[in-house]
Amino acid sequence: MVRVRTLVAGALAGSALFACENPGSPFAEADGVLAYTDAGSIHVLDLANRADDVIHTAEAGTDIRNVTWAPDGTSLVFHTYEFGQHTQFVRQWKMYSISADGAGISLMFDRGGPEIYPAYGPDGRLAYWGNDGLYIDGWATYTTTGTVDQSAPTWSPDGRHIVFASRSDLLRVTLADTSETETIFEVDEIGSTARDPAYSPDGTRLAFVREFTAMLNEIWIVATDGTESRSLTEGHRDRHPVWSRDGSTIAFVRNENSIYTIGIEPGSRIQILLSHPVEHIAWVW
């Protein structure tokens, strides 16, 4: 059953605080639809109408992770972790498609191995990680050695490239020739990693997470030629950046309990958008 909560600006409703009413917020006139996960549920938040719908809740023992919108905004894909008797041991990984209103849900693949961290391309192709590399629509595209990277890939707006996190760095693969990759951002500090890349709408920049410790992660941006890298946030556990439609603003998850926004220009002020337990976000504009 879908639970519907109407969020009134400035008031606490159903444990979620919608904070777009701040006149200084870049999302004061926010539109679009935001999907977010909070461990066992998927929420769809209509920013214009301030309505927050829980479209799916997983069974006990199953966590819902990365969610991605289909390009037409009618459905989402997400992956789950199903735990065994001891929760530190993951028993199964599965990937599902669900309609935006929660009316229909279907298993994407049934191969036995993991299909995780999905990301739709602009033309409707679906990229994700398998146990031996990067797949697109069920076909192996790029083979990796070692462990699977624990964040979703991101498509360039023209659909020609995919950027993903590999060990500590951000790499780009050209889909016309996947035999080689190029490094977009190389981590130069021992113990630091780059993850969660996200292409800007015009394809000129990437937002990503620079992870220094388990509790210290910053949102960074870098030009797609590898220059002009700089941090946007500091001092918190910030993850999962997504871009506004005009490329001027980035939304992100802070400390797994709220969604914030920040402009990409130096000196931009951070604004809270939603106060609620959050693990991952995906936007449709």
Q: Report the 10 Å Cβ neighbour count for 123.
A: 9
DSSP string, 202-261: TSSEEEEEEEEETTEEEEEEEETTS---EES--SSBEEEEEE-TTSSEEEEEETTTEEEE
Per-residue pLDDT at 109 = 81
Per-residue pLDDT at 20 = 38
For the chain, which residues make up each domain, given as ranges? 3-284
| 36 or 9, greater pLDDT | 36
- Written as six digits, the tokens of 79 are 């992956």
Span 143-147, average pLDDT: 66
Cα distance between residue 279 and residue 65, in whole Å:
7
Span 263-282, average pLDDT: 90
Structure-derived torsion over alpha carbons of residues 39, 44, 45, 51, reported in degrees to the nearest 10: -110
Span 103-127, average pLDDT: 88
Could you tell me the pTM of the whole model?
0.85
pLDDT in tens, 44-84: 988 877 788 999 999 888 889 889 999 888 999 999 887 66
User: Over 80: is that where the pLDDT of 163 sits?
Assistant: yes
Q: In a 10 Å sphere around its CB, with 0-12 CB exposed, 13-18 middle and 19+ buried, how is residue 191 labelled?
A: exposed
Cα distance between residue 218 and residue 209, in whole Å:
6
CA–CA distance from 26 to each of 21, 75, 203, 270, 280 (Å)? Answer: 10, 27, 21, 9, 21
Q: For residue 219, what are the contacts with CB-CB under 8 A and spacing of at least 6?
A: 207, 208, 209, 210, 231, 232, 233, 238, 241, 250, 252, 262
Span 252-260, average pLDDT: 93
Pairing state between β 169-174 and 161-166: antiparallel
User: Over 90: is that where the pLDDT of 6 sits?
Assistant: no
Average pLDDT over the chain, rounded to whole? 83
Furthest-apart CA pair in the chain: how many Å? Answer: 53
Residue showing tokens 């113990």: 191
| 150 or 19, greater pLDDT | 150
Give 106's strand partners. 97
72 touches 90 (CB < 8 A)? no
- Written as six digits, the tokens of 7 are 């969020």
What is the share, in percent, of the chain residues with pLDDT greater than 90?
Answer: 49
User: Over 70: is that where the pLDDT of 154 sits?
Assistant: yes
**What number does CATH give the domain 3-284?**
2.120.10.30
